[in-house]
């Protein structure tokens, strides 16, 4: 199965811009005690790693991703954590090796999320926590809304499904984590809202995150004939125009879930 966003320099920049714009919301309350050993899986190009390290300066981090290129880039940015290339379906660690696991924006890309979680649980200590953060592309609405913008946006969940993922997994996080065997699962919706009074969110979320994701799939959408190229491009421009529209508004919900491995 392919990974919908790919590994271009453009995508690396998008992940970093997006993480910067969302860090206060996504990382609120994510703190690990001094001495704890935390697995970040996957780390990508380390867009979240910096926030993890800064927010929990006494914790130790091991960060993995299936992409050797991403891991190499991440290791250059952050000297503290250990980075390694590894598959989330087969994390190369002893059972119970970690006090906590942090897994951000990955289950939506996997065709066997329950199996991946089972493997992360194997390397988690009894009583340790797993934090999962996922988007939900069905939670998105905006103004002005044009038919082209709706059609362009709809390509993203369709393409992700074609590649074996589920971009609507955010709303299912409770049952996905509980089904994997985690106890005390708590899910928190994290609502992103942008209007003209929040220009930094218009830039960081509408332009860098949403439009960034759409631009990243343009060639795949066109190659696969999912939408006429001109319609797709107009749709993306219409969404970008929300950023400076006097009545522009954009809403999207992420979901953050935390569960505990049974003792
Ligand atoms: C959207 S990125 C998220 C990365 C990081 N958590 C962040 O928020 O910036 C998804 C990452 O999942 C990784 N990935 C996909 N399938 C994987 C697998 N089977 N094992 C490990 N990593 C995987 C990709 O290489 C990519 O870096």
Structural domains of the chain sorted by starting position, each given as residue range(s) with its CATH number in brackets: 9-260 (3.40.50.150)
In this structure, the residue with its CA closest to atom 23 of ligand 1 is 66
pLDDT tens digits for range 198-248: 999 999 999 999 999 999 999 999 999 999 999 999 999 999 999 999 999
Shortest-distance Cα residue to atom 4 of ligand 1: 44
Ligand 1 centre and the CA of 260: distance in Å?
22
Ligand 1 centroid distance, CA of 196 (Å)? 32
Q: Is the peptide bond before 112 cis (omega within 30 degrees of 0)?
A: no
pLDDT at 185: 98
Distances (CA, A) of 128 to 111, 122, 171, 256: 25, 11, 23, 17
Residue 119 three-state SS: helix
Pocket test residue of 106, 107, 120 for ligand 1, highest count of atoms within 8 A of CB = 106
Residue in 206, 248, 250, 150 with CA at minimum distance from that of residue 18:
206
| Pairing state between β 82-85 and 98-104 | unpaired
81 CB near ligand 1 (under 6 Å) = no
How many angstroms separate the alpha carbon of residue 106 from the centre of ligand 1? Answer: 5
Q: Is residue 4 predicted with pLDDT exceeding 90?
A: no
- With a cut of 60, say whether residue 61 has pLDDT above it: yes
pLDDT tens track for 96-119? 999 999 999 999 999 999 999 999
Please choose from 39, 65, 72, 87 the residue to mutate so as to test ligand 1's pocket, defined by most ligand atoms within 8 A of CB: 65
- Tens-place pLDDT, residues 31-43: 999 999 999 999 9
- pTM > 0.75: yes
């Amino acid at each position: 199965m392919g990974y919908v966003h790919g590994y271009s320099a453009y995508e690396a920049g998008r992940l970093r811009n997006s993480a910067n714009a969302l860090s206060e919301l996504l990382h609120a309350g994510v703190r690990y005690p001094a001495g704890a050993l935390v697995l970040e899986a996957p780390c990508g190009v380390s867009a979240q790693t910096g926030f993890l390290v800064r927010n929990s300066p006494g914790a130790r981090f091991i960060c993995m991703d299936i992409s050797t290129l991403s891991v190499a880039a991440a290791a250059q940015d952050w000297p503290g954590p250990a980075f390694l290339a590894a598959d989330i379906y087969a994390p190369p660690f002893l059972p119970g090796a970690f006090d906590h696991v942090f897994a951000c924006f990955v289950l939506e890309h996997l065709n066997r999320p329950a199996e991946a979680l089972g493997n992360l649980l194997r390397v988690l200590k009894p009583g340790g926590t797993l934090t999962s953060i996922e988007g939900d592309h069905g939670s998105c609405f905006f103004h002005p809304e044009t038919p082209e913008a709706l059609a362009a946006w709809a390509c993203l969940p369709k393409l992700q499904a074609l590649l074996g993922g589920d971009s609507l997994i955010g709303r299912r996080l409770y049952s996905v984590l509980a089904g994997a065997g985690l106890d005390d699962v708590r899910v928190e919706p994290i609502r992103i809202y942008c209007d003209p009074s929040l220009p930094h969110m218009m830039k960081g979320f509408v332009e860098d995150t949403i439009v960034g994701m759409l631009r990243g799939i343009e060639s795949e959408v066109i190659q696969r004939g999912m939408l006429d190229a001109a319609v797709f491009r107009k749709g993306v421009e219409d969404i970008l125009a929300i950023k400076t529209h006097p009545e522009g508004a954009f809403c999207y919900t992420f979901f953050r879930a935390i569960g505990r491995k049974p003792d």
